[in-house]
Amino acid sequence: MKRKFVVAAGVAMVASLALSSCSGESADDGAEAGGPVTISMSGWSLATTPEFQVLADGYMAKNPDVTVELKEYDPLNYNTLLTADLAAGSGPDVIVQKEVKFVSTFQEGAQLVDVSDVELPEDIGGTEAYDIDGASYAVPYRQDSWVVFYNKALFDQAGMEYPDGSWTWDDYADTEEDLATALAGTGAFGGYQHGWQSTVQGFANAQVPDADILSGEFGHLEEYYERVLALQDDKAQVDFNTRNANQLTYQGEFGKQKAAMLPMGSWFVATLIAQQAAGEADAFDWGIAPAPQYDDSTAGIDNVPVTFGDPTGLGINAAVEGAELEAAKDFLAYAAGEEGAQSLAAIGIMPALLNDAVVETYFSVEGTPEDELSRFAISTHETLPENPTSSDTAAIQNVLLDLHTAVMSGSEPIAGAIKTAEERFKNEVDID
């Protein structure tokens, strides 16, 4: 009886993973070369995430011999469930890499095929995230990057000029303060900052020169946190604690015009358009500005702004071989290539391949902002990976998440929290 309780928290599952890892062959059904081939691909929330079906349909239309079947996973436990399936030998043939930080786990576990020979277009972004020791273990098909969404109606109401793409973070903070003052009494804040650690750390890690979280030095975060804490104290944005207590969503805060600005990933473009069309969000004019910069050297529309974002990629299960492997590689080339990119852009998703034609398609979606700066923000940026490809990344991000909640909630000053995080890095991550 007692023993039963002790193991409750997932330990049983650890062991069942262990057991299942010893059993089972790959789900290969060994089709003859030249005959009809079926490959499976993982996905999540298929009803609301059409990208997998779009890629599968597009490819099958071109290759009638190949059937691409989707295998749905729960989005919140995607990597855990996928890990269990792979360990049991029943994983999908084409594995969608939802989070970059799991790629090295899969690669080190010998679950992924080296796909360096899949031909990719010249100007595709995000490939370096899948590079491990000079070989590629996935191809990117989607590359979101962080930008600033702004509500033109609220800017007009405040009597302020729209962003011009020249902002540093100090300019952004000043604007947010001014907006908050001008909008006082309307119930709208200058900006909304979501609770994720990315909203502060993602920018700092990408933009501060020589910052590298794998080094275990986190001093570069200080300035970014101080700025945000000041905005919080001045009530230019909802503070972290209230946000958590009320479980605010960024879709609700921006969509219902509670905030004039929102730093967020470009995936929000498609969501916002859909929500405005469905009436879930208010109808208002909005635009996209490039991410504010660390200093003037990268700010302005004659420069290439630096921002961050992780690609979403496709890898191939190491158990796949023969005709399926050929078909899977061909599918990867399709998804990452021009045709795949076009079909994704047509449903409001930002493909990893962003050439002029693709950008054109992206902005032809009804409801997408049409101004020049939005187009610049979407098409021009240097997007650095949020999660560097390393087996230490998951542990480091957990240390930094604790720093984020401690600092943002006001329970620890930033300088002390950085010191704690650096000590924890030495103590828990850098132990080899």
Partner 1 sequence: MATTDATKVAARPPRPSGQRRRSRLAMRNTLLGWSFILPNFLGFALLTLVPIVVLFYMSMTNWNVFGTANWVGFDNFERLVGDGSFRIALLNTLYYSALHIPLTFVVALGLALLLNNKLRGVAFFRTAAFFPYITSIVAIAIVWNLLFSPDYGPINEILRFFGMENPPGWLTSSDWAMPAVVIVSTWRDMGYYMILFLAGLQTVPRELHEAARVDGASTIQRFFNVTLPSLRPTTFFVTVMLTINSFKIFDLILVMTEGGPGQSTLVLSQFIYTKGFEESQFGYASAASVALFFMCIIVTVAQFLLNKKRSV
Residues that bind partner 1 (CB under 8 A): 2-12, 14-19, 21, 80, 83, 86-87, 105-106, 108-111, 240-242, 244-247, 394-395, 398, 402-403, 405-406, 408-412, 417, 420, 423-424, 427-428, 431
Q: Which amino acid, one-letter code, is at 125?
A: G
* Residue number with CB closer to partner 1 (83 or 383): 83
295: which residues sit within 8 A by CB, 6+ positions away?
168
38: which residues sit within 8 A by CB, 6+ positions away?
29, 31, 66, 67, 68, 69, 324
**Cβ 431 vs Cβ 423: under 8 Å:** no
Provide, rounded to whole angstroms, the least separation between the CB of residue 1 and partner 1.
10
* Residue number with CB closer to partner 1 (62 or 426): 426
Residue 152: exposed, middle, or buried by beta-carbon count in 10 A (0-12, 13-18, 19+)? middle
Provide, rounded to whole angstroms, the least separation between the CB of residue 6 and partner 1.
5
Report which of 44, 23, 32, 289 is spatially closest to residue 151, judged by C-alpha positions: 289
β-partners of residue 189 are 259
Report which of 104, 262, 282, 111 is spatially closest to residue 190, judged by C-alpha positions: 262
C-alpha 350/C-alpha 311 separation (Å) is 10
C-alpha 89/C-alpha 83 separation (Å) is 10
Provide, rounded to whole angstroms, the least separation between the CB of residue 248 and partner 1.
11
Provide, rounded to whole angstroms, the least separation between the CB of residue 429 and partner 1.
9
* Residue number with CB closer to partner 1 (102 or 286): 102
* Residue number with CB closer to partner 1 (15 or 357): 15
> Strand 66-73 relative to strand 37-44: parallel, antiparallel, unpaired?
parallel
Provide, rounded to whole angstroms, the least separation between the CB of residue 244 and partner 1.
7
Provide, rounded to whole angstroms, the least separation between the CB of residue 85 and partner 1.
11
Provide, rounded to whole angstroms, the least separation between the CB of residue 394 and partner 1.
5
* Residue number with CB closer to partner 1 (106 or 155): 106
β-partners of residue 308 are 384
* Tokens encoding 113: 């095929």
* Residue number with CB closer to partner 1 (5 or 161): 5
Q: Which amino acid, one-letter code, is at 186?
A: T
* Residue number with CB closer to partner 1 (21 or 303): 21
